[in-house]
Amino acid sequence: MEKENKETWTIDELVSLTDTIQTAKVGYNGKEVPLQWCELTESEEPRMAMPSEDASDEDKTKHFSHLASVRVITMINKANDMDKENIFINEENWSKFPSTLRWRISNQILQSEEAKSDF
C-alpha cells in the first residue's frame, strides 16, 4: 500500500487565501457556469443567530441552508469587489438561480463533504 505524499501548507500560503481570488467552472445542464470567490477572514464571516433549540428539525435545516447561502454569496461578493472585470454571479442573480445550480456552486465553493449533505 502506497502512502500518499501530501505537501504541508505554510502560514503565509494560508493567510494569502483570504486575498486570493479562486476560480472554477461548474457544469449545469450541459453548459458551464464560471465562478469566482475568495476565502473569508473571521471578521468577514456573516453573522446570524443560532436557531432556537425549540425549533423543528425542518426549521433548523432551513436556517443553516440560508446561512450557507449567505456565506457563499459573501465569498462571491468579496471576489467581485476585487475583480470587477470577471463578475458573472452577483447577489441579485444568485437568488434567482435554480436551487440545484445553487447547490452545485455552494459545494464547489465550500468544498466540504459536510456541505454536500446539508442541502
Q: What is the pLDDT of residues 48-82, one digit of tens each?
A: 888 788 888 888 888 888 888 999 999 999 999 99
Q: Taking 50 as the threshold, does the pLDDT of residue 118 lie above it?
A: no
Q: Supply the pLDDT for residue 37.
A: 97
The reply to whether 43 falls in a domain is: no
Cβ(21)–Cβ(38) below 8 Å:
yes
Cβ(79)–Cβ(21) below 8 Å:
yes
Instruction: List phi, psi (to 5°) of 33.
Output: -115, 120
Q: Supply the pLDDT for residue 1.
A: 64
Conformational region of residue 59, where left means phi above 0, alpha means psi within -120 to 50, and beta covers everything else: alpha
The reply to whether 8 falls in a domain is: no
Report d(CA 60, CA 57) in Å as an integer. Answer: 5
The reply to whether 11 falls in a domain is: no
* Average of per-residue pLDDT across 97-103: 94
Q: Taking 60 as the threshold, does the pLDDT of residue 112 lie above it?
A: no
The reply to whether 25 falls in a domain is: yes
Report the number of distinct structural domains present in the chain. Answer: 1
The reply to whether 49 falls in a domain is: no
> In the numeric block, which cell numbers belong to residue 61?
435545516
Long-range contacts: 46-54, Cβ < 8 Å, 24+?
46/70, 46/71, 46/74
For 3, 63, 80, the CA distances from 118, given in Å and listed in that order, are 31, 11, 26
Domain range enclosing 83 = 16-38+56-118
